[in-house]
Amino acid sequence: MCRILFVESNKENIETVYGLIDALVKASESDNTYGDKSISHKDGFGYILFGKNGEKLHKVYVKETNPIFESPLEIATLKETLTHFERFTFGIHVRLKSEGAIDLINTHPYMFSLPNGKNLFFMHNGTLDKTLIEDEFSFNVPENVSDSLTFSYAISRNFKNISDLKELIKNGTKFVKENSGFNTITFLLDHSKIDAIITSYFKGKREYYKTYLIKENGLTAFMSSTLQQYLDKALQAKLMLIGDEPFKETIIILQDLLTNEVSIKQEQF
């Protein structure tokens, strides 16, 4: 049970990006889409940010156990950091735990440094069957490790390239519990090359797990459902709903982020 936001943008859209970040903070404090009562996603947050000026690439990786809506300094720092880049991409995850302790280990995004020099970053909204994951990949993790961390550890050990990674992530839907989802953001950093894979999938609780997408000049954004309530009307009008036909159960592959050759492909599961 989480809220997530993905952005790839140039500096010309920075005010719009600020609005998306502010909407995430507000949605995290008060979310009325899960049940009869509003809930708060109060169990920590984190983000991975890549920024580029010319050919120079920068990375910022942050994880906190405080609620994002009680962290104005951290949000101000994120916004200020964005002003230093010509182009940037990031994923933010705000947690309401379903499994695992409230600590930095279980706070998304998870990062894995691989022997081949690649870095994998993974964040997830939903609840997975941890036992099924352990059985599928033949390993066991401690009880206090979350289902999302268990799954991301499994995929980090079993892929060689972006195609392998896509299939492993698609396979993750088999572990989704009822009335839950598999909304994910994955970044793959291979030296200076950045790719991302995004999924939108749910089994019940449609109003909570449906997602939205924005694609316009210089900006691509993917977000959890509740953010749309806190966006201005001009930005709401640009949202594309994922969760109904023809965009139900969608995987988006973005390759060569922060370059002039960005490729965006959208497929069905």
Report pLDDT for 245.
67
Report pLDDT for 151.
98
The answer to whether 179 touches 155, Cβ cutoff 8 Å, is no
- Work out the pLDDT band at 247, boundaries 50, 70, 90: low
Mean pLDDT value of segment 138-163 = 94
The answer to whether 187 touches 121, Cβ cutoff 8 Å, is yes
Report pLDDT for 244.
73
pLDDT digits (tens, 9 = 90+) for 11-23: 999 999 999 999 9
- pLDDT over 70 (residue 123): yes
Residue 82: CB atoms within 10 A of its CB come to: 20
Specify the DSSP class assigned to residue 176: B
Lowest-pLDDT range of 20-29, 33-42, 145-154: 33-42
pLDDT digits (tens, 9 = 90+) for 55-111: 899 999 999 999 999 999 999 999 999 999 999 999 999 999 877 789 999 999 999
Report pLDDT for 24.
98
**CATH 3.60.20.10 correct for 2-268:** yes
Mean pLDDT value of segment 47-62 = 96
